Amino acid sequence: MRLRYSESEIIKTTGGDHDIYSEGDIATTAGGKIQESCDGETFFGNPDAIPELKLGQYFKKGYWTNHKDEPITRAVYGQKLRFHIEFDLEHATIGDTFNFGLYDDDRNDYYEDTVKNVDDFINLVLPASGKDYNTEKIGEGGKTVIEFTTTDNLENLVEKCDTDKIFELYFRCSYNGKHGIENVELPTRIVNYLKLGTLVIDRYKMPGLNAKGTDVAEDMCYGTGYKKEKPIYQPEIVQKYKNQYQTFGFDNFTHRLFSNDDNSSLYEKLVEDETPNTGTKLEELSKTKIDKLKIDMPNAVSYKKALQQRNKNKKAYYSTQECYNTFYSPQFKIPWTDFSFKVPVYNSGLDVRLFDNISDELLFFTFKNTAELYFARGEMQDNLDQLIAKFKRSEGGIFESPIMTKHALARSETDEYCQKVEDYIAEQLKNNLSKLEEVEDVEPYFAKKIGVENLFFNSKGERSKRNKIFSKPTYSYGALHEAPIKATDGLTIALNDIWAAEVLLKELLFEGNNYTAKYEVILWDHFGLDLPDMEKIFNIIPSVNETFISWFVLQHLRGYKPFLTKIKFQKEFQGSLLEGIDEKTKLRDELATEKREQKAKELNQKMRDDLWLEPKF
C-alpha cells in the first residue's frame, strides 16, 4: 500500500496519457466538490482489459497457464505448468536463445509470510537429460512456452523457505539482442505471480477454541475449583490465532497456548483462609455411598492440607460449587406441542463431591481400570493407556498414534466423510480448474446450535449451494444396536465427537482430462471433559460412571491438563474433469445395482445347483 498525504493541494501533470488501473475498487472522496472535465469526450462503460506494462524493446508479456492452456494464478503440486512469453519481433529475432530462471518471491509481504531481502532461486531440470533447464529459443510468432511439472522436491523446499508454505513464482529472463542486453521479471504484475502449494479445501472450527471461536474450549480448561473471569483468552489473542491458522494451520510451537503445552497459566498458591467451603463436612457425606464405592477417605487434616496445596490458574473455568451441582437432567417433550423441559433425575454432582475426597493416585487408578474395562480392547487399550499416562504427566500438547489412526480409517464414518470430500473436490475440478483460488477456503468456520439444528457461520458462501455437505466425521456410540461394539472399541473414548477438521488438496496428476488427486485430512479433538459431560446419561450407569467422575475431578478440581488429539492421513482417488458430483453418484448407483444383480444371479444359480443335487424320490 502507498499512502500520500498533503496539508494543501496536490497537482499532477503529465505530457501524455494518464492511466489509472486497480484490481479492486477505486474510491474518491472530497470535502467539497468533485469536478471532472476534458477537451474531448467522457466515456463510461465496462472496464477495458488490464493494460500491459511497458517492459523494454524485446519482451512484451509473460503469463501462467495449466496443461489445458487456461490462464491461472493458483496451482497445486503435480500439475503440469506452462509459462508463456511473448516477444516484440520488431526488435527480437526468431530462433535466438534467451536465458531464464524460476524464482519464489520473498521480497513482498504475503500476510504472515516471512519477508526477505532476496528471492529464492528454484532450479529446473530437463527430465530426459537431467541437465539444468535455463535456456530456450524465441519461437514462431515471437512466442515461447516454458513447460515443467512440479514435484515433491518443491514441497520439501517450501517447508524450509516459506512460513505460509506457498510459493509465489515468477521468471527472471535475459535476452542479448541487437539493441543490447535486456533483463525483465515476468509476469510484470505481482498479482499474476503463480501461487503454488497445498490448497485448503475446508477448515471446520479450530483446535482449542470453543464452538463459536470466541474463547477457550471448556473441555481444554483445567483448575482446582477457583474459576477465573471470562474471557480466558482475550479477543486479540483469539484473532491472532485465527489469522495464523488460516495462513499455515496449527503450529505445535507457535500455538502451544491452545494445546496447554505452555507455562503461561499464572499459578498462584492458595493460603489457608482461601480453602473452599464445600458446604458439607466429610462426616456428613453419604456413608452408604462411600462404603459402596470402597473409597479410602483421607482424614480431615490431610484433606485440608491437600486443599491448601492446590493452585489456581487462568484456565480454571468452573468453581468447585458448580462442579458439585451437576445433575443428569433428561429433556422431555410435551406431546403435540413445541414445548420441552428438563427434569433433574440423578445428582452426578454428589459423585463429584465424593470423589473429590480421594487421592490423585486412587483417582488415576479408578480412571485407568474402569476405562480399560468398559471402553477399550486389544491394541486400542494400549492406546488408551498412553492417553491416560499423558494426562497424568499434565504436560498438555498433542497426542498422535498410528494405532488410533489405523482404527479411525477402519470406521465406516471415515469412508462416508471421505466420499463426500472426494465428490466435492471432483465437482470443483470439473468447474473451477482454472480458478482454484476461488475453491480455496482457508478461513475456519464455526457452528452454533439453534434448536436441534447445527448452523454454520463465518463460512465461505452457502455450503449446500456449493455441494459442501461435510464438516467432520464422528466416532460416537452410533445407533442402539451398534453401541456395545462401538462404545468399547477404544476409539469413542479417545475421540468421540471430532472437534475440528481440515482438508488439504496436496497433489494433482493429469493425463488429459483424467487425474489422480491426493488429499490430506487432519482431525482434531480434545482429551478432556467439560461440565455438560457430567450431565449425560452415562453418569447414571453404576461403575461405568466412575471413569468420567475420576477424569472430571482430576481435570477440574486437581488441575491436570487436557490436551489435543490429532489424526492425520492421506488418501487419493481417480477422476475426470468431465465428472462432478452428479456423474460420480450416478456411476456409484449403477455399480451398486450391478452388484445386486450379480449377487441375485449367484443365489439363483446356487438354488438350481442345490435342486439338482437333492434326491428326487
**pLDDT tens column, 579-588:** 999 998 888 8
Burial of 350 (0-12, 13-18, 19+ CB in 10 A): middle
If pLDDT is split at 50, 70 and 90, which confidence band does 480 have? low
Considering only residues 17 and 91, tell me which one the structure prediction assigns the higher pLDDT: 91
Q: What is the rounded CA–CA span in Å between residue 314 and residue 277?
A: 21
Asked whether the predicted pLDDT for residue 591 surpasses 90, the reply is no
Q: What is the rounded CA–CA span in Å between residue 147 and residue 427?
A: 27
Taking a C-beta distance cutoff of 8 angstroms, is the pair 561, 526 a contact? Answer: no
Give the least confident one: 38-52, 81-95, 317-331.
38-52
Q: Which residue in this structure is represented by grid cell 444371479?
A: 601
If pLDDT is split at 50, 70 and 90, which confidence band does 305 have? very low
Asked whether the predicted pLDDT for residue 188 surpasses 50, the reply is yes
Average pLDDT over residues 545-560: 95
Residue 610: C-alpha distances to residues 476, 598, 607 (Å): 44, 18, 5
Could you read off the pLDDT of 114-133 as tens digits, one per residue? 778 889 999 999 988 889 99
pLDDT of residue 264: 57
Considering only residues 604 and 329, tell me which one the structure prediction assigns the higher pLDDT: 329
pLDDT of residue 449: 64
If pLDDT is split at 50, 70 and 90, which confidence band does 89 have? very high
Average pLDDT over residues 80-90: 96
Mean pLDDT (the chain, rounded): 84
Average pLDDT over residues 233-251: 93
Could you read off the pLDDT of 44-76 as tens digits, one per residue? 777 666 666 677 899 999 999 999 999 999 999
DSSP letter assigned to residue 49: P
pLDDT of residue 12: 75
Asked whether the predicted pLDDT for residue 206 surpasses 50, the reply is yes
Residue 399: C-alpha distances to residues 85, 365, 523, 524 (Å): 50, 21, 12, 10
Q: Phi first, then psi: give them for residue 600, nearest 5 degrees.
A: -65, -40
Give the least confident one: 214-228, 341-355, 495-509.
341-355
